[in-house]
Every structure is written in structure tokens, then in C-alpha cells.
Amino acid sequence: MSRKIRPAGAVWPNPAYLCARFLIKKHSNRDRFQAIRLEDNFRHMNRIRLCALFCSLFLLLSGTAFAQMKGWELGGWAGASNYFGDLNTNYRVNRAHFAGGLLTRYNFNERLAIRFGASYGRISATDADSRNIYEQRRNLSFRSDIVDGAMLLEFNFLPYMHGHREYFYTPYVFAGPAIFYYQPQAELDGVWYNLPELGTEGQFRGDEYSTTQGAIAYGLGFKVDFSYRWSMTVELSARSVFTDYLDDVSGVYADWRDIRSLRGDIAAQLADRSGEPQIGEPGRQRGNGKNNDMYAFLGVSIQYYFGEIRCPSYNR
């Protein structure tokens, strides 16, 4: 019997692959099925390894193609805040208010950063601005100061490095958790009253909604360098909040007589401000509790960079 000679430069097949082929030819149907699965798993593992190798090479090349930007930034922003909810169902922006805040950002590299921020703004709305007949008759209004803090993860669409001649700007997106404090108020005869403590939708004492709530913050922006240290961003940020009581409006009308006996005349008047004939019948819709409220910030910020640009390292 002649012996097969391996050509120069040839590579022997993987032993697992040869074993699978042998089982397919020599064994029963059950063993053959298991062998086929073994062969398929072997091929699948090869694909995974090839993909992992490709990703590793890509990350390695990415790390050496650009310098690494790591470090902190500190800055502040100013702009406007606006509310959307039961008293602004048409997404009007005619009652935007001044807003501002402070932020600090840590850059992991030219693509990713984490940001911590504290913001202040005011929101307000009135049914008098609505074109909806029912909302006009409802005649509710409110204002509230907002103080919130957020932790956000940022992703830059383009490589971004301070002081670089080419990579000095990028659009970006961000998202993360937020917590905020608010206090809705309404005006009656020239006096502003805190609404949570009045139970305008029939809440019992001790069952008032909390004025400290959580939210999901998200948005997009554009950042650009002035110099190695100074940069500017323009950003639109929204807060999807975990409450429908930013405006003190969510459910149905309660009986005004019960509100008056429990909370007083002021609470009863602020619960139903519709004209004659009044629409605040017990159980009638006052707000839309199926959709929570939200607020948004639009602002321009200036940051100072404390970090450094690290030159890429090459293996010799």
C-alpha cells in the first residue's frame, strides 16, 4: 500500500473535523446525526473565532490609528426649558423659560464619555393657549421650578479630540437616568398656592404625590473646539418622567364638596376652574393618566478641558 505524502506547505485537517467525518462514514444513523452536529459546531466555532479575530484587529487598529483622549471637562450651560403634558397637548413652545446648569464630563476616549450634570429651569402652561374647546373650558394652569441631576453616557458619531486639526467637532447622542424636584403651583386672586398639598384630584391626606421623581434623560447635540482647552456644545435634552403630575393634572374630577370638606375652599376652587356651567362633574376626565408628562432643555454650553491627549503606542 502506497503511503500518502503531504505536500510541502500543506496543513493537516483539524483532528475534531477528521473524527466527525469518520463517524459519519462508519457509525449508525444516531451516531451519524451526532457527528454531523459535531461537524457543524466545529464550523460554527471557526466562524466565531474568525469574527473575534476580526473584531480584535479592528479594535487594535482603532487604538493605534488615533491618539487617546482621556480626562475631565468642567463647564456650564444656559438656554431654555419647556413642558409637554396635559396642559400642553399640542407641543407648544410659546411658554419657554430661562434654564441653566453645570456639568462635568469624563472622556474615556475619542468616542465615549460619561457626564454628570445639575440643571435648573421653570415650566408652565395654561389652557388659555389651547385651541381645544374642552381644554379652554377646563381653564387650568400651573407653573413649577425644576431642579434635576442626571448621569449620562455620551457617544460621539465622529472621532473627537481636543485641539486636533481634523477631529475637532462631532454630533453626539446621550442617555441616562435622572432625578428631579418640582413643585407645581397655581395662582388664585394674585396668590400662588402649592398644589400637591391641596389634593385637587381628591387625594386623601398622606396620599399626595411625591415632588421628587425619577426620569430617563436623552437627547442629541453638537460639540466643537475653540482651542485645545475650550469647547462649545449645542444640545437638546428631554426628560421622560415617571409621573403624570408635573402639572397637577392626571385623572378625573373628584367631588368638589369632598375636597372642600377635606382641604378647604381654596383647594375646591383650584380643582375646578371652569366657568358656568362648570364641567367638573365627579368622575369626568380632568387629564390623561395614560401618558406621563415630560420637559425639555435647549442650551449652549462652554467647557474647559483638564485632560490630555495621549499619543498612540506601537509595538516594536
Give me the pLDDT at residue 287, please: 94
Q: Are residues 23 and 137 in the same domain?
A: no
Angstrom CA distances, 212 to 94, 199, 295, stand at 26, 17, 15
The parent domain of residue 40 ranges over 15-60
> What's the CATH number where 230 sits?
2.40.160.20
Q: Is the pLDDT of residue 33 over 70?
A: no
Give me the pLDDT at residue 39, please: 45
Omega before 277 within 30 of 0, i.e. cis: yes
Q: Are residues 267 and 127 in the same domain?
A: yes
| Residue 281 within any structural domain of the chain | yes
Its pTM stands at 0.76
Q: Is the pLDDT of residue 10 over 80?
A: no
Mean pLDDT of the chain: 84
Give me the pLDDT at residue 26, please: 46
| Residue 49 within any structural domain of the chain | yes
Domain end among 60, 93, 113: 60
Residue 32 exposed, middle or buried by CB count within 10 Å (0-12, 13-18, 19+): middle
Q: Are residues 280 and 238 in the same domain?
A: yes
Q: Are residues 90 and 52 in the same domain?
A: no
Q: Are residues 39 and 138 in the same domain?
A: no
| Residue 315 within any structural domain of the chain | no
54-94 pLDDT per residue, tens:
445 444 444 444 456 789 999 999 999 999 999 999 999 99
Give me the pLDDT at residue 276, please: 82
Give me the pLDDT at residue 312, please: 54
Q: Are residues 98 and 50 in the same domain?
A: no
Q: At what angle do helices 29-65 and 15-26 cross, to 10 degrees?
A: 160
Q: Are residues 46 and 90 in the same domain?
A: no
Q: Mean per-residue pLDDT for 107-133?
A: 96
Q: Mean per-residue pLDDT for 34-44?
A: 45
> Higher pLDDT residue, 310 or 131?
131
Let me know: does 183 contact 144? Beta carbons within 8 Å: yes
270's enclosing H/E stretch is helix 265-271
Q: Is the pLDDT of residue 5 over 60?
A: no
| Residue 316 within any structural domain of the chain | no
Phi/psi of residue 150, each to 5°?
-140, 150
Q: Are residues 233 and 162 in the same domain?
A: yes
Of the pLDDT bands very low, low, confident and very high (cuts 50, 70, 90), residue 153 is: very high
β-strand partners of 145: 122
Q: Are residues 54 and 74 in the same domain?
A: no
Q: What is the number of structural domains in the chain?
A: 2
> Higher pLDDT residue, 252 or 22?
252
Q: Are residues 178 and 33 in the same domain?
A: no
C-alpha cell at 41: 459546531
Q: Are residues 40 and 188 in the same domain?
A: no
Q: Are residues 178 and 297 in the same domain?
A: yes
Give me the pLDDT at residue 45, please: 52
